[in-house]
Structure 1
């Protein structure tokens, strides 16, 4: 676990052993089983999660009960209901395991302590947040400007391993197409 977290952080900022020991002290590690929830809509969001192993799905259920897949998160990715996490409000989305999953958990209090205590980590989280914002904008633009075939091709190009790990029904939902349409696109 420690090696994966350190390697992930050091892709952006180098850390001394003492600095990494400080960083490590702010995280806890938890394991979840397939179908378990890390975050449930309507409940408090205690942590942001760095995925060590496994696969997560962030979903939003609209007022009619329709499920919308906001994102997937696999190894080396971060995920949470960030609005609820940072604003300390109730979750509007749910985060569920699609596979048995191990995560590093970072509470908001520890996130703040980490950023205040080590400027390198503030820089790290700024870069991660900017990358996430860019990815969100790309996804929105894809929905606004691309047809189903183009969205599927973009998904394959950006995240080829997701195609093998995510059930087709969920991939179809993520792409905004029917299961049947996805089957035609995948031929």
Structure 2
């Protein structure tokens, strides 16, 4: 929970009482490599904060090809936001690439936390805005940049991923073949 506090306090200060109230809304869970936090077709009752570990958020198309949307890692918030907020079934998967320690919050607890501690609303707004900006940048990059430019952006933004993620998964994230990625990285 110390990591969560540090993460929140990068945006706003907390008293001991406020932080205690916040932590009362979370549960801590440990997952093994390969475990799913979200599977397509299932309910999505929680949002997740990655305290330790690495995940992949991905969509599988009708032909069976996986499309990686992101690699959530330490200090990232992730879920299938549409399914979580509308109480519908997941359309994307969230799977552990490493053993992971995850802080989980239900929709009811998330809503209660925001209602009972109004200043946390600012924190979640800042995180949502940053996530939205990152998503738009990623979409624009996929639509308008060459494979080489996308690879260079990955190196600049997330250099540690190269040591934590296989080339096959990185290629999927970049929207290129494994061979193209090998050519770009040599």
So what's the TM-score if we normalise by structure 2?
A: 0.99
1:115 aligned counterpart, secondary structure: helix
1:65 aligned counterpart, secondary structure: coil
In the other structure, the counterpart of 1:100 is 99
Q: Please list every run of 5 or more consecutive structure 2 residues that lacks an aligned counterpart in the other structure.
A: none
In the other structure, the counterpart of 2:36 is 37
For 1:160 and 1:54, the matched residues in 2 are separated by 16
In the other structure, the counterpart of 2:11 is 12
For 1:31 and 1:24, the matched residues in 2 are separated by 16
In the other structure, the counterpart of 1:70 is 69
* Higher alpha-carbon deviation: 33-42 or 65-74: 65-74
In the other structure, the counterpart of 1:119 is 118
> What root-mean-square deviation, in Å, do the aligned CA atoms of Structure 1 and Structure 2 show?
0.6
For 2:11 and 2:87, the matched residues in 1 are separated by 27
- Cα displacement (A) at 1:126: 0.7
The count of corresponding residues between Structure 1 and Structure 2 is: 186
For 1:141 and 1:163, the matched residues in 2 are separated by 22
Q: Please list every run of 5 or more consecutive structure 1 residues that lacks an aligned counterpart in the other structure.
A: none
1:74 aligned counterpart, secondary structure: coil
So what's the TM-score if we normalise by structure 1?
A: 0.98
- Cα displacement (A) at 1:145: 1.4
In the other structure, the counterpart of 2:20 is 21
2:72 aligned counterpart, secondary structure: strand
For 1:107 and 1:85, the matched residues in 2 are separated by 9
In the other structure, the counterpart of 2:170 is 171
Runs of 4+ in 1 over 2 A off after TM superposition: none
